[in-house]
Amino acid sequence: MEMWLRTWAILWKDILIEVRTKGTFNAMAFFAALILFIFSFAIGPDFELLRRIAAGLLWVGITFTGLLALARTYHSEELAGGLEALLLYPGEPRAIFLGKLIGNLMVLLVVEAILYPVAAVLFHMQLAGHVLPVAGIAVLGTFGFSVIGTFYSALTLHLRAREVMLPLLVLPLLVPVILGAVSATAALIDPSARGGVGGWVRLLIAFDVLYFVVCTWTFPVLLER
């Protein structure tokens, strides 16, 4: 019971701070949309091509924006003097991980709620009729992303060159997530794409469960000082 109070405490605190720090979230959302625009320019006006690779472009955009969001996971603690601000209180250390994880997940999902429609418009994606399944896949993929990212952002917090280290450590691990999310989404909305959605969804779920367990279990090791 006390663990959930702690998880809620961190979530509540981070939401409050985020809401009061106007501008950060907006900047992130604009950044994400901007990436999608740049893709359009980089790839050129072949709209048929853009439509076919839309899911991939979307997830690259999500990945880059996600890395930005993840880097700020412990930002409020850093301003307050360090992770010790959280360690001062007795209780289950994994609650910190869970609280931060849910926070990151929420931020990313909100950004995606904006990005998907933008991508649908820019890349002529046919999302109509598939909104729920596509959203479901987005949630599964984002969950895996958030687990790995929240975990490693704690590890790289005190590491030199951490702006580079976080992506370096996180991206290779995310290959299955990106593959799964993109392939499943493409299979759903693109009639010309092959491959079963079910298999990819199972992969995403397995990934999410595995890493949620591994990261939650191992998290206290990262908090030792």
Enumerate binding residues for another protein (CB under 8 A).
1-2, 5-6, 8-10, 12-13, 16-17, 20-21, 76, 79-82, 84-92, 151, 155, 158-161, 165, 168-169, 171-173, 175-176, 179-180, 183, 194-195, 199-200, 203, 206-207, 210-211, 214-215, 218, 221-222, 224-225
CB of 34 to another protein, least distance (A): 27
* Residue among 6 and 100 whose Cβ is closer to another protein: 6
Q: Which two tokens stand for residue 14?
A: 């981070």
Name the DSSP letter for residue 177. H
DSSP code string of 63-103:
HHHHHHHHHTTTHHHHHHTSTHHHHTS-S-THHHHHHHHHH
CB of 114 to another protein, least distance (A): 24
CB of 119 to another protein, least distance (A): 21
What is the phi/psi pair of residue 66, to 5°? Answer: -60, -40
Distances in whole angstroms, Cα of residue 15 to Cα of each of 22, 83, 152, 185:
12, 18, 21, 30
Q: Are 153 and 108 in contact (CB under 8 A)?
A: no
* Residue among 113 and 168 whose Cβ is closer to another protein: 168
Q: How far apart are CA 34 and CA 184, in angstroms?
A: 24
* Residue among 32 and 180 whose Cβ is closer to another protein: 180
CB of 41 to another protein, least distance (A): 26
Q: How far apart are CA 222 and CA 225, in angstroms?
A: 8
3-state secondary structure of 123: coil
Q: Are 147 and 211 in contact (CB under 8 A)?
A: yes
* Residue among 73 and 122 whose Cβ is closer to another protein: 73
CB of 105 to another protein, least distance (A): 19
* Residue among 118 and 223 whose Cβ is closer to another protein: 223
* Residue among 3 and 114 whose Cβ is closer to another protein: 3
CB of 64 to another protein, least distance (A): 17
| Nearest Cα to Cα of residue 70 among 103, 30, 35 | 103
